[in-house]
Amino acid sequence: MSQPATITPGNGPALAPAALSIRGLTKRYADGTLALENLDLDIPAGSFFGLLGPNGAGKTTLIGAVCNLIRLTGGEITVFGQPGSGMSARRMIGIAEQEPNLDKFLTVYETLLYHGGYYGMDGGEASERAEQMIDAFDLRAKRDVEAPKLSGGMRRRLLLARALLHRPRLVILDEPTAGVDLELRHELWRYIRGLHEQGTTILLTTHYLEEAEALCDEIALISDGRIVARDTAEGLKLSHGVDSLEDVYLRTVAGGRIAMDRLEEVE
């Protein structure tokens, strides 16, 4: 087992590197859209970090950049001190994307088995881990069913099981509970909380502000490709002089400011 790199400033104690460190990240798409603009972000190891913002703010682009799924225009990413595009960094990340992107030729078991293989597990280890995840996410009855034949909730379970199968140190969850019923949502959060308590760093994007408030140690608000606010939920409310995270959200992000102004005009 390799140990994560450490940073030692002067003669002081060794500091664990951030789980995710982003410097000057810029992404301009081929059509000219500037999705991220010179974005800096550090997520401490072991934290439960929320990333909130309206549609089109740059959340999914940011996640894609961290997971090697988009080409960067500029900037640097490190994961636990390792270069983001390197193999070690990729091994440490698990991602559950917003849209189900499951291999239509594979069953639930095969989806997990092959994913383990892509991440370097041998056959026995990948199989054992796949069976564990099938039980953990209550997929036993669907073990040999192909992905297109699964219900929406089952697909969501499988996406999460796949993201966690190789036991990543940084788990990125992009709207993991979108379209999921209340019971499953609570079940998933219980599991993710458990992971966090075991030392996994979680980066979460969600539109459910109350969930972000309940789960996350820290929250960053992103708008127009930039981080516009960052603090604990309480800190954000205090600094904006409001009672709810929803009000912070409406005041902070661009579209929300307009909505807030209109609300105040009506009042």
Residue of 6, 15, 74, 99 interacting with another protein (CB under 8 A)? 99
Strands (E), the chain: 20-28, 34-43, 48-52, 74-79, 82-83, 93-96, 170-174, 201-205, 218-223, 226-231
How far apart are CB 222 and another protein at their closest, in Å? 18
- Note whether 71 binds another protein by CB under 8 A: yes
The rounded distance, in Å, linking the Cα atoms of 98 and 115 is 18
- Note whether 90 binds another protein by CB under 8 A: yes
Count of residues interacting with another protein (CB under 8 A)? 55
Q: Name which of 187 and 211 has its Cβ closer to another protein.
A: 187
- Note whether 182 binds another protein by CB under 8 A: no
Cα distances (Å, whole numbers) of residue 39 to 27, 31, 103, 239, 267? 10, 20, 33, 22, 36
Listed in sequence order, the residues at least 6 apart from 122 whose beta carbon sits closer than 8 Å to its beta carbon are: none
How far apart are CB 28 and another protein at their closest, in Å? 11
Residue of 5, 15, 87, 259 interacting with another protein (CB under 8 A)? 87
- Note whether 194 binds another protein by CB under 8 A: yes
DSSP structural state of residue 150: S
- Note whether 174 binds another protein by CB under 8 A: no
Which residues bind to another protein, rule: CB under 8 A? 1-4, 29-30, 64, 67-71, 87-88, 90-93, 95, 97, 99, 101-106, 110, 114-115, 117-122, 126, 132, 136-138, 162, 164, 166-169, 187, 190-191, 194-195, 198-200
